Amino acid sequence: MITQIKLHDCKSELREADLRATPTRLGVLQILETATTPLDVTTILSELRKKGIDPDKATIFRMMHSFLQKGLVREINLSESKNRYEYRGKGFHHHLICQVCGVIEDMDDCNIDIWEKELRKKKGFIVKRHSLEFFGLCKNCQN
Amino acid sequence: MITQIKLHDCKSELREADLRATPTRLGVLQILETATTPLDVTTILSELRKKGIDPDKATIFRMMHSFLQKGLVREINLSESKNRYEYRGKGFHHHLICQVCGVIEDMDDCNIDIWEKELRKKKGFIVKRHSLEFFGLCKNCQN
DNA sequence: TGACATATGCAATTAAATTGCATATACTAA
DNA sequence: TTAGTATATGCAATTTAATTGCATATGTCA
């Protein structure tokens, strides 16, 4: 059963991160792992309800903090009034956000590393992380 | 008098943007033009009070909308819970944000244009704007 | 100077995120 | 399997950024 393996994976993933494997956390992890775009807390909540889990939003906000701290998720900021979260296991990538329909595409290749070395040399600044997002028009919205 | 010339510049800048040159707007423009980092609305308000101007925050939020629409400022998002605004006349650049002391440095050179052409070819995505920010440790905070 | 579109003040409201505290539950060790 | 304990959750209140409606004030142009 794929689902069982999946659940087991999530469980050990949480345990390895020193986090208790509660049903809500397992549900959130599963949702984030299968999501095709970064999700905000409200969306995570409504996805959870579809699974029959209905926690308080404070729980999810606190969960995102601990997930973030343990490195399970990344916080994504797309110039909205809210944060989004993305499963970190997917690997690092940037986003293409359509300003018309709002669709979010991934962009895998990123060679900013070169810049980071330059910044260290030129400015003495040590880069720990960076964010790069492109806003514009997706294929369908160009008319 | 440099100040007079400056004020005159701000005034015509606003008029050219089809915006009325009110004292509050002139003050905000002057503050943004002399600022060394992008400012949030709360900071703009307290800077205004130092000048003896004390408007409502709603006014500044609305002002940022019109300034943004007219292209006088850029909206900067540094993964905070609030927006910052930067005078657009300074030209486009990215930021280095120290995760320890919070200092924000500018980074002038940006050759993302090359990427934009690639994105158009590979993904059919037309880039209208992008945001690139580096988070890490400034020279003083590396110990 | 007067008319009028625009800008502002004020107050109420929305939405994201945080916090304190009591209760519930997952994990560990016996 | 169970009891003890640290951790997670629920609930309610609160904070902060941002928005909105509406009445009033003000900049601009004729």
Residues 46-75 of A with CB under 8 A from B: 75
| Contact between chains at A128 and B107 (C-beta distance less than 8 A) | no
- Could you tell me the distance in Å between the CA of residue B22 and the C1' of nucleotide C12? 26
Q: Are B128 and A77 a contacting pair at CB < 8 A?
A: no
Give the list of residues 6+ apart from residue B130 with CB closer than 8 angstroms, or none.
A132, A133, A134, A135, B112, B116
Q: How many domains does chain A have?
A: 2
Are B26 and B66 found together in one domain?
Answer: yes
CATH number at residue B123: 3.30.1490.190
pLDDT band at A117 (very low <50, low <70, confident <90, very high): very high
Structure tokens that stand for B14 in this block: 């606003």
**Where does residue B68 fall: left (phi above 0), alpha (psi -120 to 50 degrees), or beta otherwise?**
alpha
Which residue's entry shows tokens 């293409």?
Answer: A96
Tell whether the torsion through CA atoms of B89, B94, B96 and B97 is positive or negative. Answer: positive
Distance B23 CA to D26 C1' (A): 11
A14 to chain B, closest Cα gap in Å: 26
Q: Confirm if A125 and B136 have CB atoms less than 8 A apart.
A: yes
Same domain assignment for residues A61 and A118: no
What's the CA–C1' distance between A58 and D10, in Å?
A: 9
On whether both A135 and A66 belong to a single domain, the answer is: no
Rg (CA), chain A: 17
| pLDDT for position A7 | 52
Instruction: Please check whether residues A16 and A82 belong to one and the same domain.
Output: yes
Interchain CB contact of B135 with A (< 8 Å): yes
Please give the pLDDT value at position A2: 41
Owning domain of residue B10:
2-90
Residue with tokens 């973030």: A68
Residue by residue, DSSP assigns B48-116 as HHHTT----HHHHHHHHHHHHHTTSEEEE--SSSS-EEEEGGG---EEEEETTT--EEEE----THHHH
Looking at the structure, tell me whether residues B85 and B129 fall in a common domain. Answer: no
The answer on B137 and B103 residing in a single domain is: yes
A12: domain CATH number?
1.10.10.10
Grade residue A114 by pLDDT with cuts at 50, 70 and 90: confident
B71 and B125 fall within a common domain = no
Answer whether A135 touches B (CB < 8 Å): yes
User: Does residue B6 sit in the same domain as residue B75?
Assistant: yes
Task: State residue A111's pLDDT score.
Answer: 81
B84 lies in the same domain as B114: no
